[in-house]
Amino acid sequence: QARIAALNLGAQVRLVGFVPDPLAFLQAHDVFVLSSYAEGFANVLAEAMACGLPAVSFDIEHGPSELIVNGETGLLVPDGDLRGLSDALRSLATDPALRARLGAAGLERARQRFTVGGMAEAFAAVFHAAASGRRQGGEQHVRHSWTHL
C-alpha cells in the first residue's frame, strides 16, 4: 500500500484482500495475471482459466507451464521479465480476438484436466506410482507422474 501511494497509483491499483466469492470476482474481469516469483501448484490460475479468463504468467519453476501452453491456452513470460509481462498484458488489452481465443482455449484445457473423474484418476495414478516407486526405489517415477496431473 505504501508503494502504491508513493507511486501515486491509487486510482489504478487496488489490493482487494480476502474475497469471499472468488469465482464471481474472477468472472467480473477480462484478464488474469499471475506475477508470482514462486508457486507450488497455481490453484488460482486453474480457477481463472476455468472461468474463461485469458491468462498471463511468469514461467516459474512450478505451476504455470503445467497449465498454460504458451500462445495456445495463455501467455508465459520468462521468469522475472517485467517488460515481457507488460508487453503480454498490452497484447491482451489491445486485441479482443486474442483474449477470446486464449480464454476459450484455457477454459477447454481446464475442463479437460480438472474434471472430478479425471482428477480422481490422476490421484490414483500418483498413489500407484508412489507404491511402485517404493519397490523400484524410484522417487523420480513418482515426481514424473505427479507433473502429469
pLDDT band at 52 (very low <50, low <70, confident <90, very high): very high
> For residue 114, is pLDDT > 50?
yes
Percent of the chain clearing pLDDT 70 (strictly above): 89
Domain ranges of the chain: 2-114, 115-149
Residue 139 has pLDDT above 90, yes or no: no
Q: CATH for 2-114?
A: 3.40.50.2000
**For residue 123, what pLDDT is reported?**
83
Question: What is the pLDDT confidence band of residue 134, given thresholds at 50, 70 and 90?
Answer: low
Task: For helices 116-136 and 139-146, give the axis angle rounded to 10 degrees.
Answer: 170
Specify whether the CB–CB gap between 16 and 40 falls below 8 A: no
